[in-house]
Amino acid sequence: MQPGVAVRHLTKDFGALRAVDDLSFSVGGGEVVGFLGPNGAGKSTTMKMITGYLTPSSGQVEVCGMDLAQQPLAIKAAIGYLPEGAPLYGDMTPRRFLDFVASVRGMEPVVRRQRIDAVVDRMALRGVLDQSIDTLSKGFKRRVGLAQAILHDPPVLILDEPTDGLDPNQKHEVRELIRDIAADKVIVISTHILEEVEAICSRAVIIAGGRLLADGRPAELASRSQFHNAVVLVLTGGPADLREQLAAVPGVQRVEVLEESAGRVRLRLLASHGRSLLEPVTARLREAGWQADELYVEQGRLDDVFRQLTHEVAGRETRS
Ligand SMILES: Nc1ncnc2c1ncn2[C@@H]1O[C@H](COP(=O)(O)OP(=O)(O)OP(=O)(O)O)[C@@H](O)[C@H]1O
């Protein structure tokens, strides 16, 4: 079975509210896709439609080449799902919970034992197997949630905010676990933590107001930032019109003063679209005999692009 997820023109209305609006994207094998958007963007609603927990108002979901409307049960078998907040049966122990999930999934006793053993090792749950889930730390609860999602070894994993509410160490651990299981699967992770996308995702899909805003590799999207290719430099004792002189360097779109004190100035030179500034700026410095204390090129950050894109949508919605 070829792992993959494709949504086409997916739309979901809750009464008058259009939570997901004509959304299309696809994810292929070996990809970890970060599904990004501000609160209320429609991420969970989309994930619930992909996993068959919500029926779309219109549009199509295809998982591993199967149409959800035609083969809902086969698709449920092909998907592991970690819902938002990962509701678990708190009074059960992880051992009983996993056994229960395995029986719901219809696993034979021998397979069941093997699979539970395998996920317990992978998620390092052995030490807490007989402790009630309610009494586990959030990090361990999330591992139990992930364990149930991968128990039947599905080719597709849909993880709704898998690290939400965890402390930095637990976040790191859960990301490592996800990276570890990613190799041969399709994984879609919803999050609003952009560093998470940069850390574990090969692609990012950004939505807001239920609509697709961007789809690309994180570095590719980051390069759409206004700070992409900007040069930051620190100079001591430059001339009074330093800013104007640097603004005249070919390719410089704008000069920002980031810090200024006692004759020392930190400047950011923003590049015009598609221009590289390193060479013309260093040439200008050499020519003028100015010695930079510090000089580096910025790559642009995903969070700049995210803010820019989602603010544009918020602006459009306020105006309409
Ligand atoms: N069952 C429901 N009935 C009515 N409205 C709903 C329902 N579920 C979600 N919504 C609304 O749909 C919109 C999208 O919600 P959704 O939970 O999909 O967003 P999200 O991107 O996952 O947000 P968050 O990051 O806050 O979890 C929101 O305005 C939400 O209030």
Which of 14, 82, 188, 196 best tests ligand 1's pocket when mutated (most atoms within 8 Å of CB)? 14
Instruction: Quote the ipTM score.
Output: 0.97
Query: To which residue do tokens 């730390």 refer?
Result: 137
- Same domain? For 57 and 41 the reply is yes
Question: Closest ligand 1 atom, CA of 84?
Answer: 27
- Same domain? For 258 and 216 the reply is no
Q: Taking each helix axis as running N to C, give the angle between helix 168-181 and helix 138-150, from 0 to 180 degrees, rounded to the nearest 10.
A: 10
- Is ligand 1 within 6 A of the CB of residue 83? no
Residue 2 banded pLDDT, cuts 50, 70, 90: confident
Q: What pLDDT shows up at residue 320?
A: 55
The pTM of the full predicted model, rounded to 2 decimals, is: 0.84
- Strands in 17-28's sheet, in edge-to-edge order, are 17-28, 4-14, 58-63, 66-67
134 phi-psi bin (left φ>0, alpha ψ -120 to 50, beta other): alpha
Report which protein residue has its CA nearest ligand 1's atom 11: 19
- Same domain? For 293 and 185 the reply is no
Query: To which residue do tokens 């430099």 refer?
Result: 233
pLDDT of 318 above 70: no
pLDDT of 317 above 90: no
pLDDT of 217 above 80: yes
**Token duo for residue 17:** 């509210």
- Same domain? For 203 and 175 the reply is yes
Q: What pLDDT shows up at residue 274?
A: 85
Domain containing residue 199: 5-223
Q: Give the pLDDT mean for 230-247.
A: 92
- Is ligand 1 within 6 A of the CB of residue 23? no
Residue 112 banded pLDDT, cuts 50, 70, 90: very high
Query: How far is it, in rounded angstroms, from Cα 262 to Cα 236?
Result: 8
- Same domain? For 72 and 150 the reply is yes
Residues 6+ apart with CB under 8 A from 249: 269, 277, 280, 281, 284
267-289 per-position pLDDT tens digit:
999 999 889 999 999 999 999 99
- Same domain? For 177 and 263 the reply is no
Query: How far is it, in rounded angstroms, from Cα 226 to Cα 236?
Result: 26
In a domain, 305, yes or no: no
Last residue in a domain, options 223, 250, 273: 223
Residue 42 banded pLDDT, cuts 50, 70, 90: very high
- Is ligand 1 within 6 A of the CB of residue 261? no
255-266 per-position pLDDT tens digit:
999 999 988 999
- Same domain? For 219 and 237 the reply is no
- Is ligand 1 within 6 A of the CB of residue 40? yes
- Is ligand 1 within 6 A of the CB of residue 141? no
- Is ligand 1 within 6 A of the CB of residue 318? no
- Same domain? For 215 and 265 the reply is no
Q: Give the pLDDT mean for 137-151.
A: 90
Q: What pLDDT shows up at residue 87?
A: 63
Amino acid (one-letter) located at 186: V
Query: To which residue do tokens 């990276």 refer?
Result: 179
- Is ligand 1 within 6 A of the CB of residue 39? yes
- Is ligand 1 within 6 A of the CB of residue 37? yes
Query: How far is it, in rounded angstroms, from Cα 290 to Cα 189?
Result: 48
- Same domain? For 273 and 170 the reply is no
**Token duo for residue 214:** 């961007």
Q: Give distance in angstroms: CA of 19 to centre of ligand 1.
A: 7
Query: Could you tell me the CATH number of the domain that includes residue 276?
Result: 3.30.70
Concatenated DSSP letters of the chain: ---EEEEEEEEEEETTEEEEEEEEEEEETT-EEEEE-STTSSHHHHHHHHTTSS--SEEEEEETTEETTT-HHHHHHHEEEE-TT----TTS-HHHHHHHHHHHTT--HHHHHHHHHHHHHHTT-GGGTTS-GGGS-HHHHHHHHHHHHHTT--SEEEEESTTTT--HHHHHHHHHHHHHH-TTSEEEEEES-HHHHHHH-SEEEEEETTEEEEEE-HHHHHTTSTTTT-EEEEEES--TTHHHHHHTSTTEEEEEEEEEETTEEEEEEEEPTT---HHHHHHHHHHHTPPEEEEEE----HHHHHHHHHHHHHHHHHH-
Q: Using CA of residue 188, residue 193, residue 198, residue 203, what is the dihedral sign?
A: positive
